[in-house]
Amino acid sequence: MLPKLSFWLGCFVVLAAGCGGKPMQDKPASYLVRRAPERPALQGRWDEPAWWATPILKVERFMNAPGANNHRPGVQAKVAYAADGLFVIFRVSDRYVVCRHTEFQSRVYTDSCVEFFMQPKPDKGYFNLEMNAGGALLVTYIEDAARTPTGFKKFAKLPPEADALIPRFHSLPARIEPELTGPVEWCVEYFVPFSLLERYVGPLGNVAGQTWRANFFKCADESSHPHWASWAPLDVDFAGGFHRPDKFGTLKFE
């Protein structure tokens, strides 16, 4: 066999094995959380100096869930920390944007929504912070994510005063209906005080050098174009939904 032909046939065999054999394993999701050089202004300024050195993560693993379609918004996020808490910013290039829920602890995940789940300590539960494009927030502390008719086996909804403890910015109006079907870029940005998390998981101490577990999501369950995407890989058939702490990636604090 000619050497060149042998080479290309070998390449074909490798590619075919990759397509027809076992799927390639996703690289574990890991993110470096840097200390903010100054406090972000919470005005949705993605490129302000406070965010310049912060790595960008992408929420781009879309699920083949029942009801999902081919809408694939571009979703990016950044996380930074200060001595007293976390700063989080999402930027979304989207379509079919809708916000029907404006109240704290309402069903924001049915709207155009971004979510940040975090587990500060391996022997404690995790928090889910879910925010729609209009800035409405749902946040829960979950110790056992097994599903029950009322939610989860062991969980606590954060009380109403927690809403005021998480200052935020949202670039779109609080209510959006009818849907914005054309292209639109939207942003939410917020601050989560460590003191709020410590009510549930105990003292955090100096987070520099710590490793937390986390995942980031995008969804719009009841828009005209439902979709579900994650940062750290989940089961592609969406078994168990987003509430899979066993699938979390890592946040490494600088």
In the chain, where are the structural domains located? Answer: 28-253
Separation of alpha carbons 154 and 137, rounded Å? 20
Whose tokens are 């965010």? That residue is: 51
Whose tokens are 């070998």? That residue is: 10
**pLDDT for residue 12:** 36
**pLDDT for residue 236:** 67
Query: 12: which DSSP letter?
Result: H
Both tokens assigned to 92: 């979304």
In degrees to the nearest 10, what's the CA dihedral of 52, 55, 60, 65? Answer: -110
Separation of alpha carbons 74 and 230, rounded Å? 12
108 residue type, one letter: V
pTM metric for this prediction: 0.89
- On the 0-12 / 13-18 / 19+ scale of CB atoms within 10 A, 112 is buried
Q: Which CATH architecture has domain 28-253?
A: Sandwich (2.60)
End-to-end CA distance of the chain: 55
**Could you give the 3-state DSSP secondary structure of residue 7?**
helix
**pLDDT for residue 28:** 84
Mean pLDDT by 10 residues, the chain (254 residues): 40 37 62 98 98 98 88 99 99 99 99 99 98 99 93 96 99 98 99 99 99 98 96 81 95 99
Separation of alpha carbons 225 and 230, rounded Å? 17
HSE (CB half, 13 Å, CA atoms) of 232? 23
Both tokens assigned to 159: 């009380």
Separation of alpha carbons 140 and 149, rounded Å? 16
Partners of 22 in the β-ladder: none
111 residue type, one letter: D
Q: Among positive and negative, which fits the CA dihedral 155, 159, 165, 166?
A: positive
